[in-house]
Amino acid sequence: MEKMQIQVLVDNNTYIDRYFVGEPAVSYYIEIDGNRILFDAGYSEVFISNAEKMDIDLGDLTHVIFSHGHNDHTRGIQFLANKYDLSKVKLIAHPNCLKPKKCGGDNIGAPFSIEKARNTFMYEPKSKPFKISENCIFLGEIPSINNFEKRAKIGKYKSENLWDDDYVLDDSAIACKTDKGIFIVTGCSHSGICNIVEYAKKVCGDNRIVGILGGFHLFELDDRLGSTIQYLKKEEINMLYPCHCVSFKVKAKMNEMLNVNEVGVGLTISI
């Protein structure tokens, strides 16, 4: 099976001796099965300058995948569209991803409307699991499986002409199949990281999880965290990279029982 490589273009953190720029956002560059995938685009243009320093040509992308529609994962795409012709690039996202989103008085949604996405990319909205390539699957909408991972509403989203409570049903992830098991790449895991793992196992027909990279949306030392740690420990995951929306105290608690790795801009993961 062909090797997969992931490079972190944007994360909240940077490494002490690597001179990239961080921001509270997510962007990863993934190569698998001959495809060149941008997974999320951060908040600003810094993912582009970081990629240039890493000798990554973002003008040669085959796919853009959005984990969900919040602006710390999508806003940077406008800067890429201003720089490159993306008309032959496939944009994969949940159908709700590009709908307007707000929290309080703030716009927290993507910078592109669905119409603009259609005019900029080969736009392919997917709510069901979708095979990007032989070994890379976009999971679509994640079902709620674990009772300790209740969905929380974050602001509102515009459906037709009405503003509804947003339970971030557009939250998704990708599952990369390797010889050692599934490697999951997620943005914020609003649907629950354990729900995502369970669904990835079902979709891929493989119960082995070799690793996870992404935000787990966990901030407090509470019962949900305890259940999450117990679940992940049972899965015996060797490569665990919680980042972005995971607090320091949560990472420290997780590290007592799990093999937690540091994440920063410039991290490269190869399998």
Query: What are the residue ranges spanned by the domains of the chain?
Result: 5-270
Mean pLDDT of 156-162: 93
Q: How far apart are CA 53 and CA 51, in angstroms?
A: 5
Confidence of residue 105 (pLDDT cuts 50, 70, 90): confident
Report pLDDT digits (tens) over 208-245: 999 999 999 999 999 999 999 999 999 999 899 999 99
Cα(206)–Cα(75) distance, integer angstroms: 34
Architecture of domain 5-270: 4-Layer Sandwich (3.60)
Contact 129, 203 (CB under 8 A): yes
Calpha distance 9→50 (Å, rounded): 6
Residue 82: predicted pLDDT: 97
pLDDT score at 135? 97
pLDDT digits (tens, 9 = 90+) for 14-32: 999 999 999 999 999 999 9
Residue 193: name the closest of 181, 176, 209, 177 by CA: 209
Mention every residue, 6+ apart, whose C-beta is less than 8 A from residue 258.
229, 232, 233, 237, 240
What digits encode the pLDDT tens for the residues 71-88?
Answer: 999 999 999 999 999 999
Q: List pLDDT tens digits, range 114-142.
A: 999 999 999 999 999 999 999 999 999 99
* Residue 255 CB contacts under 8 Å (≥ 6 apart), including other chains: none
Task: Reply yes or no on whether the pLDDT at 112 is more than 80.
Answer: yes
Q: What is the pLDDT of residue 81?
A: 98
Q: What is the dihedral of CA 219, 153, 124, 11, to 10 degrees?
A: -20
Confidence band of 2 (pLDDT split at 50, 70, 90):
low
- Per-residue confidence band for 204, with pLDDT thresholds at 50, 70 and 90: very high
The closest of 68, 12, 40, 6 to 264, measured between CA atoms, is 12
Higher pLDDT, 161 or 109: 109
Given a contact cutoff of 8 angstroms between Cβ atoms, the answer to whether 187 and 214 are in contact is yes
For 125, what's the count of Cα atoms within 13 Å in the CB-facing half-sphere?
A: 16
What's the confidence (pLDDT) of residue 138? 98
Report, as an integer, the average pLDDT of 248-257. 98
List helix spans (H) across the chain: 46-53, 71-74, 77-83, 114-120, 193-204, 223-235, 248-255
Q: For position 160, what pLDDT does the model report? A: 87
- Reference 62, options 95, 38, 27, 97; nearest CA is 38
Q: What percent of the chain has pLDDT over 90?
A: 96
Using alpha carbons, select from 194, 185, 235 the residue that is nearest to residue 214. 185
The Cα–Cα gap between 169 and 142 comes to 8
Token match 């799990």: residue?
Answer: 258
